[in-house]
Structure 1
Amino acid sequence: MLGFDGIVENSIDATSTRDFVAEYVSMLAILMTNLSRISEDFIIWSTSEFSFIELADEFTSPSSVMPQKKNPDILELTRGKTAEVIGNLTAILTTIKGLASGYGRDLQQIKSSIWSTSKISISALVILKSILLTLRVNEKNMKKAAESSYLIALDIAEKLVQNGIPFRTTHKIAGNLVQIAHQYDKSLNKLSVKEISKIALETKVDPNLIMKIIQSTTIISSLKERKSFGSSGYDEQKRMIEDRMNKINSYRINVTQRDNNISKALSNLSSKIAELIK
């Protein structure tokens, strides 16, 4: 009649256990910790030094003295609120750990931690969703950073392996290519034949093969060619996003069904009470 799935057989367990509370708040603490890490990423990426993203005005504020600043206040508050949620979890576990079997009035003190944690977590999710929907991604700067950091060095090493060269050797070749490129402040595909030939001579690998691979390898080609499960490749990223969306939709269906069952149970309970009153 109350909408529960069943009963807890042990009366002491039914009245005094708060494992479900600890588990619930623990999961939210983990959730908030992940949101805090995302917030930290966004804070760094929104700085002028990185300029990977730009936050919408409604989620930022100017400095109290410097009007040109665009402070990521909401993201900073998310990090701060995470500490509060972790504190709530600590308070709950500390309360529970000192109790004997059976009910103690101490347990009523953990209720405020539950409500506080729920409110903070729900608000953080709603706000972060709004931030994601309104932020602007600076693809040009992100691509520039990716290309300037020699990320394709691994792709070059792997392509050399595909041509029958041991990875130990290709690893050394790619490392030396990066070292020279960094020394002369240039990208890998700007290396000269002379610079590549010196490395090829040391490793006894055809310099023309190395040059051909370097010229045909880019950040875009890397993302297109990566196919392994869970990799950064375009196809795998699309698959993982679709998989997560399916899980979210499944969770939504289950929550809706549970909500409907509870509403139905409460309606039936009200009807039975009405009959008894008559």
Structure 2
Amino acid sequence: MKTNSSVAPSSFEFTVFSDLGSLRYLFFCLCLLLFMTIISANVVIILSVCLEKSLHQPMYIFICCLSLNSVYGSVGFFPRFLMDLLSDAHLISRPFCFLQIYVIYTYASCELTLLSIMAFDRFVAICQPLLYHSRMTLGAVLRLWLFAVLYPACACGFGLYLTAHLPLCGNQLPRLFCSNWPVVRLSCVDTALNNIVTRFVMITTIFIPLFLVLYSYLRILLVCRRSSAEFRGKALQTCLPHILTFVTYTFCVFCELSLTRLDADTLNPIITGVLSFEYLIIPPINNPLVYGLRMHQIRGASFRLFRIHKM
């Protein structure tokens, strides 16, 4: 509920949390187990790629970056969420709220930019195999990774800067965690500039990467149509993990974007909760499962890592 005061609130209140009673401890244990599983699974992928010299190739380096991003996003969400599950007062300070927005939004944007770069890597490997090693050098991989990280960091930072300077007339957020649009809706002044910047950031960090992924796979499909069945089988084998990851994350992002267009105050809290943190839970646990189980190189390196640890 908005008030007539335009003084910036010192804290925000999450209104989606309901009184769970003794069930809060069950949910806390389940979410803590999920958090530990996400961290452990992604750390295994990271260590496997870093320690196994045969995996020091562009495709595996990008998979490692994807796991690093999953750890980053999970650490930005789960600790605070676990505290709220056990707390009676669901208040978060203003600075920490904006910090959480920044971490979660940069995680979400980096996930898509990394997936688009991985699609480009597969496009070059399949459609231009003779040029692959000359194009996807270590320097090129580093530059692509820096762009995938720095552009979302700057774009999301600028959008959050505008939000942080808005005079607000309330402090209630119908979310399980801090999100930019619910904070903007609390503004006492016109938010046209924020809306323009938000749309620009969404286009450049969500829709353009989505277009690049679709374009890359269209080109791959055209090449496969003119190739042998054996070539198509190898192309599908190397692309399938990325396709599964991309489709899963796209669906989760679609759910989050749909929630921003709905009035969360009129929705069932359970629906709001599920739609709001799907992209924070499903991709971080899905990525290591897909790449760890589907790609025998990473699976073999992971087993060797465990054997070395036991010795």
User: Which TM-score tier does this pair reach, normalised by the shorter chain?
Assistant: under 0.3
Greater Cα radius of gyration, structure 1 or 2:
1
Structure with higher RCO (Cα < 8 A, 6+ apart): 2
- TM-score (normalised: structure 1): 0.27
- TM-score (normalised: structure 2): 0.25
